[in-house]
Each structure stands twice: as C-alpha cells, then as structure tokens.
Structure 1
Amino acid sequence: MSSDEEWSSGEDDSQASKLARKAKDTPFVPIGLAGCLTVVGYGLYKLKHRGNKKMSIHLIHTRVAAQSFVVGAITLGVLYSMFTDYVSQTSSKPEK
C-alpha cells in the first residue's frame, strides 16, 4: 500500500480538508456555489430598490437566476469531464 492510500488520523478528515479536496477534484462545484451565493446576495441587495415589482416576482426571478448559474456550472463541469475523459484520451493514443 502506498503512502497516499494509507489511513490517517482524524485531523486530515476535517470539514475544511474535505471541502478543499472536493474543490480540487471538481472545481466547478465551488464555482457554482459561489455564483449562487453572489446572485442571491445581489438579489437581496436589489430587493430594497425593486420599484413597482411585487416581492414574490422579484424573489422568483432571483431564485431562477441562482439556479441557472448552478446548473450552468454543473453543465460546464460535465462537459469538461467528458472532454478530458474522451477527447483527450483519443488524441493521446498512438495510431496504428
């Protein structure tokens, strides 16, 4: 068993280290989360200056924008993963 696969103490299994490891493995997840939080924060900021628009409509538009950002980030992550798995592998194989 290599040193990378050995079990380590509970210190390495903290929430911050798990989040950092997950962000390193799949970088589009934290990007989607940050975008979602940014859109929600901006929507809450603009809530005060929404004008003549009903609050429910403003909140629905904010929710749709936040969800769209997350779905877009997940879609980009899947496309990137497919590209690295299939296109990069086929271009690196030697031709016979």
Structure 2
Amino acid sequence: MSTGTDVSPSYDEDQGSKLIRKAREAPFVPIGMVGFATIVVYGLHKLKSGGNTKMSVPLIYVHMAAQGFVVGAMTLGMG
C-alpha cells in the first residue's frame, strides 16, 4: 500500500548548482562546451581578419574543428 509520500526527490536546485553537479558526474561535457566555444570564437576572429578569403571555406573548417572537439570529448568521457 502507498503511504502517500512522494517517491521522487523534490528539492530546490538553482541552475548554478545543477551545472556543478552535472559537471562532477560527467566532467568531459563542460570541457567539450568550452572547447567548442573557444574554437568558434577563434574561427570568427580569424574570419574577420582574414581579408579577401571566401567566407564559406573558413566556416566549414571551424565547424569541423568544433564538431571534432566535441565528439572527442564525448568519446573520452565514455571511456
């Protein structure tokens, strides 16, 4: 018989503490996020100061580098 108690824990957790808890459970996720953001910022800076290069080619390289970093971080996290 049920006693009327709630099975799931209902506690108040703000976004900061939730992010810290998740980072402790899977430390490669924040590493992947920071790496992705770093590569994108670097690529956009290089694109801005690139001069007369075609815009699509550097964006493709930045996209592939950022995606590769995230997949690598996820793979290391699984291992």
Higher helix share: 1
Q: 2:28 is aligned with what amino acid?
A: F
CA distance in 1, matches of 2:53, 2:68: 21
Alignment gaps of 5+ in structure 2: 1-8
| Greater RCO, 1 or 2 (C-alpha within 8 Å, sep 6+) | 2
Q: Distance in 1 between matches of 2:11 and 2:18?
A: 14
TM-score by length of 1: 0.68
Number of positions where the alignment pairs a residue of Structure 1 with one of Structure 2: 72
The alignment yields a C-alpha RMSD, in angstroms, of 1.6
Aligned to 1:54: 54
8 Å contact from structure 1 (residues 31, 73) kept in 2: yes
Moved over 2 A (4+): 49-53
**Unaligned residue ranges in structure 1 (runs of 5+):** 1-6, 80-96
